[in-house]
Amino acid sequence: MSSEPLRVALAGLGTVGAGVVKLLDANRDLIARRAGRTIEVAAVSARDRARDRGVDLARFAWTDDVADLAGRDDVDVVVELIGGSDGPALTLARRAIAAGKGFVTANKAMIAHHGAELAEAAEAAGVALKFEAAVAGGVPVIKGLREGAAANAIAQVDGILNGTCNYILSEMEAKGSDFADVLAEAQRLGFAEADPSFDIDGVDAAHKLAILATVAFGTRPDFDGVEVRGIRDVVAGDIAEAAALGYRVRLIGVAAADAHGLYQRVTPCLVREGHPLARVTGATNAVVAEGDFVGRLLFEGRGAGEGPTASAVVADLIDIARGIGGTAFGMPVASLSAAARADPGARRERAYLRFIVQDRAGVLAELTAGMRDGGVSIESMIQRGAGDSEGVLVAMTTHEGPARAVAAALERLEGSASLIGRPMVMPIVD
């Protein structure tokens, strides 16, 4: 055991930051034995010094300006738990790495947008950059793919990457609760982001997917290449229709890399009951990856909240304390390929389509004509509802075909007086 502790600065003392302090306190001896040295918090910074976080902060040096943590001589590693893709988090990352400090973050937004730049800077400075907590919270999926599956070519990763959305969808499914009530509960439980639109509009999952794709395929991070749709438009009727068909509604991130290029999408999907992602409920995250030699891998666990996220942050610190640096994405940035984006319209899949329509003669004919004109083959169709002023629900499933055909069909129906609101499209995952 080394007598030299690993000295850490913590930037941000919210849900995750306070969790890191609690975990380092609770498992101090175990962590020291595993890391070969103790891990000591030397300095901290947050917005509000006086706030009670349930941990004793008086023992740590305090800095009001978070950027000052990067320049401290008594710190080996800076841990950034502030959030935000740019602003103080990015300034701190750049300064800490330039100052020769290791850098650990849970900030998926920053890594999705600036990961390549920061990884290149870390390589040049010879310091570790680690972000296990940024994807799937406590689930060691970055380490699993970057190290455990490093020998494999990976063709596709699919994941439930946002605990808030999965919690909302599975609570709506189990209790028939309203979207807004379930969202408020997710915020109270501490796994929804401060701005929940990042969660429910799919942006948070897209950040994580872009990072996962980089680690899985060795392609440069391409957040702007992720097609993103969130769960705002999922209604109770969709969840009921999905159940009647033998499916569950889940927000799924999929990334695939092949000869057509890199394909990345986050969207609510119908997932067949029996698929490993269908039975994932609550704030749990799960990632399925297919390796050419290892076969299917499933990573699953708590994707958010104080304890799980702190667990992943401290695992990164333990690696650094052990002297395990390595490259941030599993290979040097210069070796990451700049994959072309695959045409999303060419992707072949089955889809669920839901319309709220006026209940009058000719409406179904209009819908099916739209499908015919777009080149979509309907597999099943059902109409439900009382035919009042709120309209009736029509749900269809399609045979497998290119995604562009469904888009073309919906374009033909756009502006139709028969439609109430916008149609909902969800790919089907069997």
Positions annotated as catalytic residues are 208
Element (H, E) at 112: helix 108-125
User: How far apart are the C-alpha atoms of 147 and 397, rounded to whole Å?
Assistant: 40
Measured CA to CA, the distance from residue 374 to residue 348 in angstroms comes to: 14
Minimum distance of ligand NAD from residue 188's CB (angstroms): 12
The answer to the question of residue 285 lying near ligand NAD (CB under 6 A) is no
By CB under 6 A, tell whether 115 contacts ligand NAD: no
Cβ atoms of 304 and 137 closer than 8 Å: yes
**Span from 4-12, 42-50, 158-166, 255-263 in contact with ligand HSE (CB under 6 A):** 158-166
306 belongs to the binding site for ligand HSE (CB under 6 A): no
Could you tell me the CA-to-CA distances from 295 to 21, 149, 212, 288, 290 in Å, in that order?
38, 10, 17, 10, 5
For residues 280 and 293, give the distance between their C-alpha atoms in angstroms, rounded to a whole number.
26
Spatial contact of 303 and 139, defined as CB atoms under 8 Å apart: yes
Whole-angstrom distance, CA of residue 369 vs CA of residue 290: 39
Coil, strand or helix at 91: helix
Question: Which of 280/393 has CB closer to ligand NAD?
Answer: 280
User: CA 13, 15, 16 angle in degrees (round to 5)?
Assistant: 75
| 83 is a contact residue toward ligand NAD (CB under 6 A) | yes
Using DSSP's 3-state secondary structure scheme, residue 167 falls into helix
Give which of 123, 63, 107, 140 is closest to 303, Cα–Cα. 140
Residue 102: closest CA among 135, 134, 69, 133 = 69
20 binds ligand HSE (CB under 6 A): no
Q: Does 45 bind ligand NAD (CB under 6 A)?
A: yes
Give the interface size with ligand NAD as a residue count (CB under 6 A).
26
Q: 236-253: buried (b, 16+ CB within 10 Å) or exposed (e) per residue?
A: ebbbbbbeebebbbbbbb
Partner touching 15 among ligand NAD, ligand HSE, none, CB below 5 to 8 Å by kind = ligand NAD
Q: Which of 38, 107, 166, 397 binds ligand NAD (CB under 6 A)?
A: 107
66 binds, among ligand NAD, ligand HSE, none (CB under 5 to 8 A by kind): ligand NAD
Q: Which of 26, 28, 33, 47 binds ligand NAD (CB under 6 A)?
A: 47
Under the binding rule (CB under 6 A), the answer on residue 192 touching ligand HSE is yes
Cβ closest to ligand NAD, residue 196 vs residue 344: 196
Question: What does the alpha-carbon distance between residue 205 and residue 227 come to, in Å, rounded to a whole number?
Answer: 11
**Looking at beta carbons only, is 94 or 412 nearer to ligand NAD?**
94
Nearer to ligand HSE, 241 or 306 (CB): 306
Minimum distance of ligand NAD from residue 425's CB (angstroms): 29
Total binding residues toward ligand HSE, as defined by CB under 6 A? 11
Q: Does 211 bind ligand NAD (CB under 6 A)?
A: no
In the bound state with ligand NAD, the residue whose beta carbon lies nearer, of 13 and 41, is 13
Q: Which is nearer to ligand HSE, 80 or 199 (by Cβ)?
A: 199
Is residue 159 close enough to count as binding ligand NAD by CB under 6 A? no
Min dist. Cβ of residue 63 to ligand NAD (A): 9
Using DSSP's 3-state secondary structure scheme, residue 301 falls into strand
In sequence order, which residues have a C-beta less than 8 Å from that of residue 59 and are 6 or more positions away? none
With left for phi above 0 and alpha for psi between -120 and 50, is residue 425 left, alpha or beta?
Answer: beta
360 lies in the binding site for ligand NAD (CB under 6 A): no
Considering beta carbons, is residue 138 or 268 the nearer one to ligand NAD?
138
- By the rule CB under 6 A, 191 interacts with ligand HSE: yes
Tell me the angle at which helices 306-322 and 28-35 cross, rounded to the nearest 10 degrees. 30
Residue 31's binding partner out of ligand HSE, ligand NAD, none, with CB under 5 to 8 Å set by partner kind:
none
As given in the structure block, the two tokens for residue 136 are: 């799937």
199 binding ligand HSE? (CB under 6 A): yes
Binding flag, residue 31, ligand HSE (CB under 6 A): no
Catalog residues that contact ligand NAD under the rule CB under 6 A: 12-17, 45-48, 66, 81-83, 88, 106-108, 133, 137, 190-191, 194, 304-305, 309
Catalog residues that contact ligand HSE under the rule CB under 6 A: 137, 162-164, 191-193, 199, 204, 303-304
